[in-house]
Amino acid sequence: MATVSPHWSYTLQLPHDPRAPGIARGTLRLILAAHEMSELSPTAELLAAELLTNSHCHTSGPYALRVLSTESDRLRVAVWDSDPRIPPGFGDVPPPAAETAEHGRGLHLVRACADAWGASVLRELGASKGGKLLWAECGRGVAAW
């Protein structure tokens, strides 16, 4: 029997460790199963993987995954890290990756799979850690990759 639950959110603090993105994806999968949203797992995991990998590759400190329900059938996946620089093209069209490049396709995947995406630089008074927050949303009825 399905239950109705209020909006919810989870935050997972992650060390700068190459295993952290995989651990975060597994945690995300468990959260979605617990909230009976498993059909969003493929898309949500892809979005999380790209955002987490970006933080791991381009920062030297810890980062965090935040998952929250925005509506009963929608999900926001967000990643915080300590670097306040927004990746080039996250708000605009990212530059194309060379055919032989091993990097540079992540933001294209986020833009292709997410219903919405955005970024915030956390410099406001009271933002204790600063840095940035990159986020992407997906919902039921969106093609999973």
**Token reading at 113:** 């799979």
Q: What is the DSSP letter of 71?
A: E
Structure confidence at residue 11 (pLDDT): 96
Distance of CA 3 to the CA centre of its chain: 26
**pLDDT tens digits for 47-106?**
999 899 888 888 888 999 999 998 778 999 999 998 888 887 676 666 666 666 555 556
In whole angstroms, give the CA distance from residue 69 to residue 42. 16
Helix axis angle for 41-58 and 20-34, nearest 10°, is 150
pLDDT digits (tens, 9 = 90+) for 5-17: 578 999 999 999 9
Q: Is 57 exposed, middle or buried (0-12, 13-18, 19+ CB in 10 A)?
A: exposed
pLDDT band at 143 (very low <50, low <70, confident <90, very high): very low
